[in-house]
Amino acid sequence: MKKKIIMVLFLVLFVLPSFALAGGHGHDRAVKKGILLVAFGSSMQEAQISFKNIEEKAKETFKNIPVHWAYTSSIIRKKLAKQGTHLNSVATALAKMMDQGFTHVAIQSLHTIRGEEFNDLVCTVHAFKNMPEGINHIVVGQPLLSSQKDIEKVVAAIINNIPKKRKKKEAVVLMGHGTHHPANAFYAALMFNLQRKDPNIFVGTVEGTPEIGDIKAMLTAKKIKKAYLIPFMSVAGDHARNDMAGDEDDSWKSTLTKAGIKCKVVLKGTAEYDNIVNIWIEHLKAAMAHLKG
Ligand code: CO
């Protein structure tokens, strides 16, 4: 009994004060920092390589800080749940981290542009900011393309990642996701910046503009005979494997092949390249620097 009292006294007098204390809503709590990585998600096993790569880099950069995951796509989460894998939404992940006593959380968006998914993420985070007994500080790291500087870094990385066999007169066609959100303009901005370095690199989208029809017209106007098709999405998932590289009549490969352009497909997501992952990690570093200790 006496021993127990001494232990408690020791803890109260010496150990506890040595933890930094985070003031919040009337209680002082020990600082507990965490990272939440947020992706759109993918149900494809092949896509996991991208997510693993990012997670490893985050853990390497911030040793001893727990890394949690959330997927923003409810469709993907439902699909995965049916297969027995349970991924959290952003709200569930934050609620769990709150319950686990995290006081400081840096969230890194693994989205490509600041579109709807990113917007929703920011709105969810706002809802968590004023919770009693909640996470004291939450900072959101920016998606891949968030500034002109990011565009220039992505341009350099893309040019570096082009298969070495490709000749200058052959085209490189990147497939972005695309959206009705105004941030869709980043794809055209990326193409503009890429073409200043290499006029035969093109950026199209599946669900926004430029469309594959626009890209086909640009390629035929330049009398291009061969193109490398490369996904510009974090994972080489459903869109890359079917809409881009699939054998269906309206896939990008079929569309360009019918126009007399020979296609070579590369099935690798942007998050499989370290030079692109590093840009996300830089954004996470900036978010961590904003987390007040
Ligand atoms: Co889609």
Per DSSP, the three-state class of 202 is strand
Judged against a pLDDT cut of 70, whether residue 242 lies above it is answered with yes
Instruction: Measure CA 213 to chain center.
Output: 27
What is the C-alpha to C-alpha distance for residues 112 and 43, in angstroms, rounded to an integer?
18
- Amino acid (one-letter) located at 217: A
Q: Would the pLDDT of 5 be above 70?
A: no
DSSP 8-state assignment for residue 242: I
Q: List the catalytic residues.
A: 177
Nearest to 109 by CA among 64, 81, 146, 79: 146
Indicate the residue type of 120.
D
DSSP conformational letter for 270: G
Q: Is the pLDDT of residue 140 over 80?
A: yes
pLDDT in tens, 207-241: 999 999 999 999 999 999 999 999 999 999 999 99
Phi-psi region of 227 (alpha: psi -120 to 50; beta: other; left: phi over 0): beta
Domains of the chain as residue ranges with CATH: 33-144+274-290 (3.40.50.1400), 148-270 (3.40.50.1400)
pLDDT score at 105: 97
Per-residue tokens: 46: 């092949």
CA of 293 to the centre of ligand 1 (A): 38
All residues at 6 or more sequence positions from 85 whose CB lies less than 8 Å from its CB, including other chains: none
Q: What is the pLDDT of residues 83-113, one digit of tens each?
A: 999 999 999 999 999 999 999 999 999 999 9
Q: Which of 45-49, 165-169, 183-187, 216-220 has the lowest mean pLDDT?
A: 45-49
256 close to 219: Cβ distance less than 8 angstroms: yes
Distance (Å) from CA 279 to ligand 1 centroid: 23
Measure the CA–CA gap between 219 and 228, rounded to whole angstroms. Answer: 12
Residue 142 predicted with pLDDT over 70: yes
Query: How high is the pLDDT of residue 23?
Result: 46
Write phi, then psi, for 132 (nearest 5 degrees).
-65, 140
φ, ψ of residue 291 in degrees (nearest 5): -75, 110
- Give me ligand 1 centre to Cα 234, in Å: 12
pLDDT digits (tens, 9 = 90+) for 60-89: 999 999 999 999 999 999 999 999 999 999
Q: Using the mean position of ligand 1's atoms as its centre, give its distance from the Cα of residue 292 in Å.
A: 36
**pLDDT (tens digit, 9 = 90+) per residue, 269-279?**
999 999 999 99
Give me ligand 1 centre to Cα 19, in Å: 45
CA of 229 to the centre of ligand 1 (A): 17
What's the rounded Cα separation, in Å, for the pair 129 and 127? 6
Res. 293 pLDDT band, cuts 50 70 90: low
Measured CA to CA, the distance from residue 133 to residue 6 in angstroms comes to: 30
Judged on CB neighbours under 10 Å (0-12, 13-18, 19+), 246 is middle
**Between the CA atoms of 264, 268, 271 and 272, what dihedral angle is there, to the nearest 10 degrees?**
-120
Contact 187, 166 (CB under 8 A): no
Ligand 1 center from residue 177 Cα (angstroms)? 6
Cα(56)–Cα(41) distance, rounded to whole angstroms?
17
Q: What is the mean pLDDT of residues 48-64?
A: 94
Q: Ligand 1: distance of its center to the CA of 118 in Å?
A: 14
